Chain A
Amino acid sequence: MNKSMNAQAEPTKKSRAISNTFMRLLKLGKPYFGWYLILCILAAIVSLAAVGIAESLRRIINAATNKDLSSLISGAIIAIVIITVEASANFLKTYLSGVLEFKSTSKLQVSVLSRLLNVQMKDLDRYHSGDLISRINDSATAAQQGINQKTIDLFSNLMQITFLLTYLLSLQYALTLGMLLICSLVPLVMLPFSSRLRSMHEQRQHIETTQQMFIQDTVQGAEVVRTFSLAPKLQQQFTGRVMKYLKIHLPVSRLEAVAYNMPLAVILGGLLYVLSYGGYLVIHGRLDVGAVAAFLVCFEQIANPVSKLANLWTELQGSLAQGKRLFEVLDLQKEGVRRDSNGKDLHLGTSTNTNQAVSGLYPISFNNVGFGYGNDQVLTNVNLTIQPGKVTALAGPSGSGKSTLLQLILSSYEPNEGTIHSGNLLLNSIPHRSWRSNLAYVSQESYLFSGTLYENIAWGRPDATTEDIIAAAQSAGIHEFIMTTPHQYETFIGERGLTLSGGERQRLSIARAFVRKPKLLLLDEPTAALDSHNEEIIGQALQELMHDRTTVVVAHRLSTIRNADHIYYMEAGSIVEEGTHLELMDLKGKYYTMVETTLNNDDKTTAVMEEVQ
C-alpha cells in the first residue's frame, strides 16, 4: 500500500514503476518467444488468406461486370482453396494459443506458489490467504494472458498491416493512406485515459479481493456465523462492499464502453471514407469499381489491426494492474537471504558444519535478540542458552513473547537485532531446510490438512513406512481411535480436520511429530486439551520423545514447568528470571509470585466453594 501511495505522489517514480512493471511483464513472455513466432506465422497465413479471399472476390465481381465466365470459375476455385487453408490455419492458431495460454499460466502459478512457500513468514503474515489466492488465480492468469495476447497481437497485426498495405497501396495510395490515418488516429484518443483506467482497475481488483477474503472468512467461520446469527449483518456488509465495487465499476464501464467501441468507430469512419473518396476517384476515372469493392472487403482486415495496435496500450492497462499485484508478491524476500552484507560469516556454513549444527549436539544460544512485527516490539534483548539433551521451559504471562521465541528457533522469523547461534554457527547461515529437517514442532492449535489419517501423520516424514506410521500413532495414543473409524488409516478427514474433536486433532499432530524422529523438539504446550487417560499415555510418550533430545517447551502447566531442566521466565518480551524450579522458588521473585498466586488463588476458590457447600 505504502509503495503505491508514494508512487502516486511522485510522478517520475510512478512512470518508472509502470515501465518497470511493463518490462517485467515482457519478461514473463520471453520464454515463449518461439510460440509467439509460430502463432504470428499462423496469423500471417490467416491474414494472407484474407487478402486472397478479397482478391478472388474482386475477380468474381469483375468477371460479373465483364461477363467473363472462365475468370469467374478460376476465382471461385482459388477462393475454395484459400478457405480450406484459412480454416486449418485458424484451427491450429486457436488450438496452439490455447496450449500456450494454459502452459504458461500453469507454470507461472506454480512458480508463484513456490515463491510464496519460500518467502519470509514475516512478510507473508501481512497478506490474507484469500488475497494471496486471488493473486495466484486471478492476477497471474491475467498478467500472463495479457502479455501473451498483446505480444501476438502486436506482431500479427503488424504483419497483417504489411501484407494488406502492399496489396492496397498497389491499388491506390491516397485511399490507403487516408484509411490508415483514420484507423490509427481514432483509438489514440483513448491514450490520455489509460493511466486513469489502470488505477481504477487496481482499485476494482482490490475491492474484489477484499470481497473474496470476506467470503472465505465467512465460509470458514460457519459455526460462529450460525450460532451468533450473524447472517443478516454479514449480508449487509456484503452489500456495502458491492456498492463500493460498483462505484468504481461504473466509471470503468464508461471508459471501457468508449474504448471498446473505438474499433467500430474506425470501421464506420473508414468505410465512409473509402466509399466517398473511392467513389470520387471512380467518377474521375482513376479507379475501377472492383478495386473499391476489394477495398471494402479488405477494409475490416486492415482497420482491425491498425486500430488494435493503436488501442494496445489502453487494453494493456488491466494486465499491468494485475501484473503489479503479481510482482509485489514475487518480490518478497526469500528466507535465508539477508539484505545486509556486513556479516561476512553469514555463508561460511559448509555442509559438514551444517551437519554438526543440526545434529542436536550443540547448544542454541540467543545473544541480545530483539524482534518485532512492524512497530510492535515483541522481544527485546533476549539472552538464553538451550542445552542439548535437556528440557528448557519458557514460562510467563500471555503475550510475553514465548511463542514468538519458538518461531525464532524454528527460523520462521529472523531476529531484527542480535544473533542466534547453534554451536558456533549462525542460525541464519544454516539452510532452513536442513535445520528444520531435524526438528519437530507441535503448535498450540493443531493444523491438519484434508486427506486421509495416514497422510496426515506421514506429513511428518514423507519416507516413513506404514510400520513407522502405526508406531507413531500408537505412541501418540491415537491408534485405537483410528481403528474405530470406518476406513481406519484411510479414513478421509475434512478441511483442516474439523470433523475430528479437538483432542483427536491434537493427538494426530503429536503423531506427526513422533514419526519425524526429531533431534530438537519444539512444543507449544499441547497436552492441555487432552483427557486424563490419553494425557497420561502422551505424557509418557513425550517423556520418551524428550529423552536424549533437546526440547523447548512453551509451558502453561505447573507440572510441565517443574519437570524442566531449566526455566526461563518471560515478561513483556524479556527474560526476567531463569534457573531450575527450586532455584527460582528460592529467589522469591516473579516466578515465585506466579506459582504462589496460582496455588493460593485456587485454594481460595476451593475454600469458598467448600463454604458454600
Chain B
Amino acid sequence: MNITESKELKLGNVLRRLMSYARPYRIGFIVALLLLSARLVMDVGIAAVQQVFIDTINSSNMDALTRITVICAIVCVIIIFCLMLQHYFRFVIQSRMAWDIRGKLFGKSNRLPFQQVQSMHSGDLTSRNNQDAGIAIGMINSIVYDLGYNLLLCFISFLYLAKTDVWLALLALGSGPLVFLSGRFFDRRLRKLSTEIYAKEAELRGILQETLQGMAVVRAFSLEEILLDKYALEREKLRRMQLRRSLLNGLLWQSSAFINNIIMITCAALIALSALKGGTTAGGVLAFIILMGRVQWPFVHMSQTWGSVQEALGASDRVFAILDSPDEGNDHASPKPGVLPVISDEVAALQIQNVHYSYSSNKSNESPLFTGINVHIQHGETIAVVGPSGSGKTTLIRLCCGLYEPSAGSISVYGKSIFDQLEEARAMITYVPQSPYLFSGTIRDNIAYSSSTATDEEIEQAARLAGAEEFISKLPNGYDTLLGEHGSTLSGGQRQRIAIARAFLRNAPLLLLDEATSALDNESERMVQESLDLLMKDRTTLVIAHRLSTVREASRIIVLDQGAIVEEGTHDSLLERNGLYAQLYNIQFNASEQEGNPVDELTATFPA
C-alpha cells in the first residue's frame, strides 16, 4: 500500500535519474542544446542590431543602412532554420525519452509483486504510465532547455549591459534573483497540490474504467445516475484542486512579472536621466531598455518554469514510486531456451515446505491463512485440492506460481526455487485460472502469447487439442478474428478453450489448474473436460477440483480447511475415513439422490 502514497524525492535525485534517460540520445540532445545558441544570438543580437540601426539612422547613412539590412536578413534566415531544427530535435527526443520511461514503467509493472498490483487499482497504474511519465520527462526538458538557456541569457546580457553601465547592470542583475526568489514561496504548495491532482486523475480513471467495463451490470441495475453522480462528484473535487492550482500559478506568474516591470521602468527612468545629463545617446537608451528586459525577463521565465517543475515533480514522484518498488522474486534472468531441468523421479515436481502466508502484510488484524503447510508432489502425479469456499485453495496455487510471496517457508518446482529462480520455475508451470483472461487482439495472438516461437501449425494443433478448432473455423476471419476487450465477443466456454489451447502450446511439465468447467453447459463442458484430460496426460497436475470425476481420477486428494490440510488420500480411503471429505461428498450427492434422480455425476460440484 505504501506505493499509493508516494514519498517526495529530493529534486537533485529526481533530475539525475530523469537525465539518465537522455543518455541514448546524447548526440541529438547536445545538438539541440548547441542549436539553442542560435536563439541566444538572436536574443542578444536583436538589442545590439537595434542599436546599430538606430545609430546608423541617426548618422543618416543610407548605404550603411542597406548593407546592415542585407546582412541581418541573411542571419535571420539562418537563425530561423536553426531554431526549426532545434524544435524538431527537442521534441523528438522528448517523446523518445517519454516512451523509454513508459516502456520501463510498463516492464516494471509486469514485474511488481502480484499482491501489490492487486492492492492498486489498475486505473492508477495505467494513469501513471499514460500521463505522469510524460509530464516528468517534459519537466527535465523544460529545465535543461528553458531554465538553462535563460540562465545563460542572463549572464551574456549582463556582460553586454555592463559595457554600457556597470552599476545599472548590477542593479538589474541583482534584482533578478529577487524576482525569482519571490516566486519560491509557492513551491511546496504547488508540488503537494499537483501530487493530489494526479492521484485524483488516476482515481477518476479508475471510476471510468469500472463503469465502462461493467456496463452490463450498470444497465441491468439502473446504476447510470448513481455512477454518473459519483464521477461528477469526484470530477468536481478535481476541478476545485485545479482551480486552486491555477490561482497559485496566477499569483506566481503575475507577481514575478509585476516586480520585474517595476524594476524595468525604474531602470529605464534612471538611464534616461543619465542621458539627460549627456551620458549616453538615444540609441544607447533604447538598447539599454531592451537589454534590461533580456536580463530581467529570463528571471521571470525561470520563476515561472520553476513553478511548473514543482508540478511535474508531483508526477515524477508517482512514477518513481513504481520504479523503486521491489521486483517479485530475486532473479529476473529469463530462462535460457532449451535448458530445462532434468525431470526425474528423484526431484519433486512441486515441493511446498512449511509455508506461512497471510493476506495482509501487517499482521495485526487478520489471522494468517497458512501456518506451516507442506505439500510434496512427485513427477506424474495428479493431485486434487478440495475444500470449502475460502479455505485457501486459489491462494495455494498462486503461491506455487510465485504470485504471492510466503512470509516463511520455501516452494520449489522441479528443484527450482520460486524465490531465487522465479522465471525458470515459472517456465515449468502452466497455470489455467478459473476465469480465463484474454487480451484484445486476434485469437492467434491469444494462443501464441505463451510461446514466442510457435508456428501456425503448432497454434492450430494446440487449438485442435483444446477443442477450439471447430468454433474458430466458424468465425469470419478464423484465427485472425479480432477479440473484443477481455475476449468479450466469445462465450464463456469458448474463452476457456482458448485458455486451454494456450496451455497446450506452452507445454510445461507442471500443470496448475483452477477448475471452472461447471459454469459451462453440458455439451461444451464435456469437450472442455476431454481436452483437459488430454492436457493432464503425461503432466504433473495440481488441480482445484469441483467435479467428482476429477477427484476420482486423482492419484491423491488434499482436503483444505481454513488454510490447513485436514485430510489426504485417495477418494476411497477418504470416504472410508468419514471426515470432511466424506461430508462434502455426501451433502452434494445425498441432495441429488433425494430428488429421486440418478446421481448426476458430471455436474456434481465440489466446493469452489
Contacts and interface: CB of A to CB of B under 8 A. Distances in A.
A87 B276 contact: no
Contacts of A109: 235
Q: Which of B56, B58, B216, B525 has the most CB of A within 10 A?
A: B216
B85 interface: yes
Contacts, number: 494
A253 B239 contact: no
Contact of B282 (A64, A272, A536, A556): A64
Given A276-B66, A556-B520, 15 more contacts: A79-B265, A87-B254, A215-B130, A233-B452, A235-B110, A289-B282, A398-B494, A444-B519, A496-B213, A498-B118, A531-B389, A533-B587, A556-B518, A598-B602, A601-B526
A40 interface: no
A216 B130 CA distance: 10
> Closest 9 A-B residue pairs measured CB to CB?
A98-B246, A531-B607, A398-B524, A398-B493, A441-B220, A503-B608, A87-B258, A64-B275, A503-B389
A279 B553 CA distance: 102
A231 B452 CA distance: 11
Nearest to B570: A613
A367 interface: no
Interface string A210-253: 00111111111111111111111111001100100110011001
16 contacts: A64-B276, A128-B484, A220-B122, A221-B439, A222-B114, A223-B403, A228-B502, A246-B95, A261-B80, A278-B57, A283-B60, A495-B122, A530-B608, A531-B606, A602-B549, A606-B601
Nearest to A278: B57
B258 A83 contact: yes
A194 interface: no
A124 B494 CA distance: 22
B209 A129 contact: yes
B546 A250 contact: no
A80 B268 CA distance: 12
B392 to A, nearest CB: 9
Given A64-B285, A117-B224, A556 B210 contact: no
A276 B249 CA distance: 40
A533 to B, nearest CB: 6
B87 A260 contact: yes
Q: Which of B42, B206, B269, B402 has the most CB of A within 10 A?
A: B269
Interface in B480-524: 484-486, 488-489, 491-494, 502, 506, 516, 518-524
A227 B232 contact: no
Nearest to B85: A257
Interface stretch (A22-30, A154-162, A431-439, A542-550): A431-439
Interface in A275-297: 275-276, 278-280, 282-283, 289-290, 292-293, 296
Q: Which of B126, B257, B390, B592 has the most CB of A within 10 A?
A: B126
A215 B389 contact: no
Nearest to B423: A229
Given A133-B209, A495-B206, A280 B62 contact: yes
A13 interface: no
Interface residues of A, number: 172
Contacts of B429: 227
B597 to A, nearest CB: 7
Contacts of A253: 87-88, 91-92, 95
B87 A57 contact: no
A436 B520 contact: no
Contacts of B592: 559
Interface in B211-225: 211-224
B40 interface: no
B338 interface: no
A536 B433 CA distance: 25
Contacts of B126: 130, 212, 215-216, 219
Q: Which of B83, B245, B449 has the most CB of A within 10 A?
A: B449
B434 A529 contact: yes
A449 interface: yes
Contacts of A432: 219
A60 interface: yes
A293 B69 contact: no
B273 interface: yes
Given A292-B57, A530-B608, A598-B526, A215 B106 contact: yes
Interface string A446-474: 01011000000001101000000000000
Contacts of B56: 279
B243 interface: yes
B121 A495 contact: yes
A501 B285 contact: no
Interface string B57-76: 11011100110110011001
Secondary structure of the A side of the interface? Answer: helix
A238 B114 contact: no
A224 B87 contact: no
Interface in A559-609: 559, 562, 594, 597-599, 601-602, 605-606, 609
B118 A556 contact: no
Interface stretch (B12-20, B23-31, B46-54, B176-184): B46-54
Contacts of A110: 228, 231-232, 235
Nearest to A235: B107
Contacts of A80: 262, 265
A185 interface: no
Nearest to B113: A226
Given A272-B73, A279-B53, A512-B221, A558 B269 contact: no
A19 interface: no
Nearest to B492: A444
Given A227-B431, A502-B608, A558 B603 contact: yes
B257 A90 contact: yes
A91 B251 contact: yes
Contacts of B130: 212, 215
Contacts of A88: 254
Q: Which of A133, A296, A375, A605 has the most CB of B within 10 A?
A: A133
A3 interface: no
Interface in B90-126: 91-92, 95-96, 99, 103, 106-107, 109-112, 114, 117-119, 121-123, 125-126
Contacts of A238: 103, 106
Given A261-B84, A444-B492, A529-B546, A602 B602 contact: yes
A338 to B, nearest CB: 17
A429 interface: no
Contacts of A95: 246-247, 250
